[in-house]
Structure 1
Amino acid sequence: MATVPPVDLSEVVRRRIRGLRQARGWSLDSLAARCHLSPSTLSRLETGNRRIDLDQLVALAQALGTTIDHLVEPVDDADVIIRPVRHQEAGLTTWVLSRDAARQGGRLVAKMRITPERRTGPGHLAVHPGWEWFTVLDGTAVLHLGERRMTVGTGEAAEFSTMIPHSVGALGGPVEILTMFDQDGERAHAGSAGETSGS
């Protein structure tokens, strides 16, 4: 198996600076003015003909509307591929598809397979701070939201505040959904098995 050569972090930082500048439609002159550098210095920094010192990195991050942490975050293939682990309980199988909710703006993504055996509806509604979104990949989901009961079919999506008593079940057979919830929802979903809140 071929080995992957190590990534030059300084080259990654230079590419990120150039990419952010270009994404904003800024010329070298425009970014240089924003971070009080000369255009020629900025050009040398972007091309690797000059090392970036800490003061310059701080100024560039501020001008580009990002942080030093984001500019120098290491590149690692292990951080790219996620191999979801299956969690199973009565009527519900979950695969978490994102690694770190904090890095995703507080969002966690999961795939769920729900079968009619899952207990939903009155008496099984959960409440927790935050919001949840899901789309149906296959089958028909039943969303109980307060007093309302709605069906969500393949290709449809739902988004709601999880402060409203809610549960998601399956209608007429298994349903597969892709769901996304915020950090409050993540904490609720990470509760004890058999007491899952939300989807």
Structure 2
Amino acid sequence: VRYQLIPWREGLDTPEEWQALVQHAFQQVYGDAAAQWLYRWSGSGYGGPLLASAIDSELLQEAAALAQEAGLRLASVQPYLMAACNHWRGQIKVGRGAFLLAEPGRVGLACFDERGWSDLVFEPLDGDIATALPAALPRMLLRLQRSPLPLEVYAFAGDGSAVVWPEPQTLRLRPLALPSALAALSAADRAACSMALLGD
């Protein structure tokens, strides 16, 4: 899944117009291949940017086919970042902060303020998450373009890695706990299953 934070566009009313805006933004970055992707987005209210996601339609079709072969029905597919943010929303008490999500191969930092989403940064995550994640966060904070530093960062590693965070001087880190149902699984299985359990 690919993500973008897309600025508000005055004068758009219909879902088709917003779809065209989102698709155009992704095509500007990824080229003609993005024309075949499926898009979802959530807004921050009038005037606020859209947090948009895109997935290759063929990948989604393959997932549905695999589910059917197993005698299952693919009821819904949610972008991991959006599902995780929704899952933890009740624990987020600060007006200006960020949500840090580590998944296999990459980490994302989604910043927000009182008006909604304000910035979005991704970078590759190689090797052991517990080691790589604390080093990745300062780099990602330096890459923020649209917003000041968050006051608090809510951090979640889907594989349950015991990350030892150095406490920065300018913000507070709030690690989010893995669902207890996953505690007995291996790290690889925890990473895979946490995506499903957070999509409630």
TM-score by length of 1: 0.26
| Structure in which a larger fraction of residues adopt helix | 2
TM-score by length of 2: 0.26
Structure whose CA Rg is larger: 1
